[in-house]
Structure 1
C-alpha cells in the first residue's frame, strides 16, 4: 500500500513538473464566433487570440462588429456559435472574468458617489482584496488623485473616462479590455492612457484595445485585428501588415561603388537626385550603416527621409479591397 502511494505521489509530482513547464494559456482565445440580431449578421466566424503581456488592437469601421465581439468575449452577449476562453478558462466561468478589467465604450456611474466610493463599490463587487492605499494609487495613476473625494456628477467627460479606466485597473487584472478608452480625452489624456497601456504590457498584463484613433493603436499595439462586416479582414503584427519600409535619400556624387552599395540594400528607384531604397521590416541598423558607407564611398548625402505606409493607409486599403470584392460578387450574381 505504501509503495502504491509513493508511486502515485511520484506520478503526480512528474505531472506537476510537466504542467509547470508549459507556457501559460493565452489571455484571450476565441474561435468561430457568430452573432445575429434579427436578419443582420453582426459577427460571422471571428477567431482571434491575445497572448499574455501582449497588446492587440481591434480596428474596423462603425458597425464592423468590434463591440459585439468584445461583449461575447466577456460573456455580456451570448454567441450563436463559437468558443471563448479567458485566461485558460471558459469565458462563462465567473472565476475567469474575475481577473479581467473592462472599460466599456458607454458607461455611467452614480453621480452622487465620489471617485473613491465608486472604486470601493467595484472592489466590493469584484470580491478582490484591494486596500484603500492601492485605490488611491490607481486614482493617482489616471490623474484623479486630487479629485478622489469629489462627486462624479461634477466630473467632465474626460474625468469620467479616467475614472472608468481606474475601475478597469483597480482589481489588478491579468487581462484588460478597453473599448474606446480615449474617446473623451484631450491629447494629454491620450498620452497618459498610452503610458498606462505600455506599463501594463511591461508587467505582463494582456490588453485588448478597441479604438478609432489609429495613431494610438500604431504606437502601443503588438498586433492588430481588422474587422469588416463582422469578419476578420486582416490580422498580424504591424510589420506584417505594413510591409517593407522605404528610405528616400537625396544624393549627389554617386559613384558606381555607391550605386552597388544601394542595390545591395534592396530594390532601388531613382528620380533625379532622389534614390528610394526598399528595406526589410526588421532591418533596424540598416539606415545608419548605409549612410556611413555611402559617405565613405564619396557620395554627398543631402537628405534622408524614412517612409512607410501608415496603419491608416493600410486599413483603408484593406476595407476598400473588401468592398470592391463584395461589389464584384454582387454584380456577378445578378
Structure 2
C-alpha cells in the first residue's frame, strides 16, 4: 500500500507541474527530403524547451534557423521525426488542444471575398461560440487593432498591414489560452507595432501564454520573459530578463596601451581585460566604470574609446551567432 501511495503522490505532483507548463518540447528533431534526389535537410535538431503558463516567450534567429518549422511542430501541422511535444498537456494534433490555441502564420492568407467581420464570425462558429458574445468580441478586437472602420470591407482591399491586423484578430476571437504568432510584426507600420505590443501586454495581464518569433529585437527584448536563440536548426541559448539586465550594465573600454602594472590593478579591481595588439580592452559593469578609468589615468594611459551597452539582446544575439559561425 505504501508504494501505491507514493506512486499516487508522484502522479499528482507531475500533473500539478505539467498543468503550469503550456509547451513541452523534448529532444525534437525534424528532417525533410527536398529536391529530385531527396536530399535530407535537418530543419530542427535536438530542441528541448518548455514554456510556462502565463509567459511571453520569444524565439529569434537568422533566416533558415528553424523558427517557423518549430512553430508548425507545436501547432501539429507537421510531425517530428524524433522526440515528443506536449501542448497544454496534450498532443498537438488533439482536437481539444487545438480549440485552445490561437495561431497567426508568417504569411496569413485568408478568403479574400470575406470581410474581416465575416472571417471572424466564421472562426467563432467553427469554435462553437455564443453569437452575442462573438459580436461583442469582434467589435472589441477590431477597435483594439484600429481596423473597425474597415470591418465590413472585403479582405482583397486590405493592405498587407491591415491583413496582418485582421489575422491577429482572427487568431484571438475564440479567447485561446495559448497564442502562437509567427513574425506578427511583419508588414505593420509603427502604429500597428505599438498596437500589437499593447495587445501582447494586455494578453499577458490576463494570464495568457504567448509564443512568437520576430526579427524586431527591440520588441522581443521589451515583451518577453524568456528568449530562445536558434541557429542552423539548433536551440543555442535561452535568455531571461536577468541576462539582459546584466548585459545592459556592461561597459567596454579601449585603452591606448597595455602595461603589467595596469593588469595587476585590474585583477585587484576584479574586471575582465584582454590585450589587443598594443591596446587594452576592458569589460566591466557601470559600477566599475569610474574606478577603471581612474586606474588607467593613474598609470598615464589614455582612454581611446568607451561603449555602454544600450541594446543588450542584439549584443547577446550577435555574440551567439558569431560564436557558431567561427
Query: TM class, shorter-chain normalised?
Result: 0.7 to 0.9
Q: CA deviation at 1:132?
A: 1.2
Match of 2:192 among 180, 189, 192: 189
Q: Name the SS of the counterpart of 1:146 in structure 2.
A: helix
Q: Partner of 1:34 in structure 2?
A: 29
Say yes or no: does 1:149 pair with 2:152: yes
1:176-215 equivalences under 5 Å are 176-215=179-218
Greater CA drift, 87-96 or 234-243: 234-243
In 2, the alpha carbon distance for the partners of 1:62 and 1:277 equals 33
Alpha-carbon displacement from aligned partner over 1:7-51 (angstroms, at most 9, x marks no partner): xxxx9xx99xx6799353311111111111121111111111111
Alpha-carbon displacement from aligned partner over 1:115-148 (angstroms, at most 9, x marks no partner): 1100011112233345211221111111111211
In 2, the alpha carbon distance for the partners of 1:155 and 1:77 equals 30
Aligned alpha-carbon RMSD (Å) = 3.0
Greater CA drift, 139-148 or 199-208: 139-148
In 2, the alpha carbon distance for the partners of 1:223 and 1:58 equals 9
In 1, the alpha carbon distance for the partners of 2:139 and 2:72 equals 29
Say yes or no: does 1:278 pair with 2:291: no
Counterparts in 2 of 1:308 and 1:113: CA distance versus 1, 3 Å = closer
Contact 2:108 2:163 in 1 (8 A): no
Q: Name the SS of the counterpart of 1:243 in structure 2.
A: helix
Contact 1:242 1:308 in 2 (8 A): no
Alpha-carbon displacement from aligned partner over 1:218-261 (angstroms, at most 9, x marks no partner): 1101100011111111112032256341479xxxxxxxxxxxxx
Q: CA deviation at 1:89?
A: 1.7
In 1, the alpha carbon distance for the partners of 2:44 and 2:167 equals 27
Q: Partner of 1:223 in structure 2?
A: 226
Count of residues paired in the alignment = 270
Q: CA deviation at 1:55?
A: 0.5
Q: Name the SS of the counterpart of 2:58 in structure 1.
A: strand
Q: Partner of 1:63 in structure 2?
A: 64
Q: Partner of 2:16 in structure 1?
A: 22
Q: Partner of 2:261 in structure 1?
A: none
TM-score (norm 2): 0.75
Contact 1:105 1:181 in 2 (8 A): yes
In 1, the alpha carbon distance for the partners of 2:119 and 2:67 equals 27
In 1, the alpha carbon distance for the partners of 2:270 and 2:285 equals 5
- Consecutive unaligned residues in structure 2, runs of 5 or more: 34-39, 253-268, 274-281, 291-306
TM-score (norm 1): 0.73
Q: Partner of 2:295 in structure 1?
A: none
In 1, the alpha carbon distance for the partners of 2:15 and 2:113 equals 50
Q: Name the SS of the counterpart of 1:71 in structure 2.
A: helix
Q: Name the SS of the counterpart of 1:131 in structure 2.
A: helix
